[in-house]
Amino acid sequence: MSVLVGKKAPSFTAPALLNGNNIEPEFSLDQYLGNSYVGFLFYPKDFTFVCPSELHAFQAKLADFEAKGAKVVACSTDTEESHWGWSQVEKSNGGIKGVKYPIVADTNKTISDAYGVLVGEYDYSSEGELVATGPMIAYRGLFLIDKEGVVRHQIVNDLPLGRNVDEALRMVDALKFVEENGEVCPANWSEGEKGMTASFEGVADYLAAN
């Protein structure tokens, strides 16, 4: 498991499902550089149980992410055709119909590996090719990438543990606050609250007021 915080987000080009219907054969996060934050989330598998609850939860808050200047992009190790098929299934039947943000197809598993979320038995051949010795899927990783392409926050959940979308939004708010105000965000900070200066005096003032 790698820690990517403070590092450039691994670049890739891969097929992706767009708007729940169209397949883009060469999708890349690089298109957002200089313009948008990105919440890049990995999930284990299409046609499963916790996964659609998460994908719909992010869709329900998609307008909130976009209002904050952030894009949401999902990724799993399924094929783009599998993504498309799942997107045709109604929510009431366990599908993801209505999910509009891009869903990347990491069919060769290299994106999940680069982001440190690939689970399963695998190795690399002498030619540098990833070789599986068992099923490989992605943990529930979530990466907040800034406009310069640097990872500023990451969490990785085990397979049965769903994520909190409101916390993902809070981290976008925190990153924007730090960039815009030059202050830092203390514990449990949320949008609209005061930050503090990164100094002993700033900490003392904040603790005294709270």
Which of 191, 192, 146 is closest to 173 using CA atoms?
Answer: 191
Radius of gyration of the chain measured on its C-alpha atoms: 18
> Does the active-site annotation cover 51?
yes
Six token digits for residue 4 = 């990517």
- Name every residue whose Cβ is closer than 8 Å to that of residue 18 and which is 6 or more positions away in sequence: 24, 27, 102
Which tokens in the block code for residue 184? Answer: 């830092």
Residue with tokens 């119909």: 97
Q: Minimal CA–CA distance to 31: which of 71, 4, 65?
A: 71
The β-bridge partners of 74 are: 41, 103
Those residues with Cβ within 8 angstroms of residue 122's Cβ, 6 or more apart along the chain or in another chain: 109, 113, 130, 131, 132, 133, 134, 136
Distance between CA atoms of residues 111 and 76, nearest Å: 9
Residue among 38, 51, 103, 142 flagged as catalytic: 51
Classify residue 72 as exposed, middle or buried by CB count within 10 Å of its CB (0-12, 13-18, 19+): buried
Annotated catalytic residues are: 51
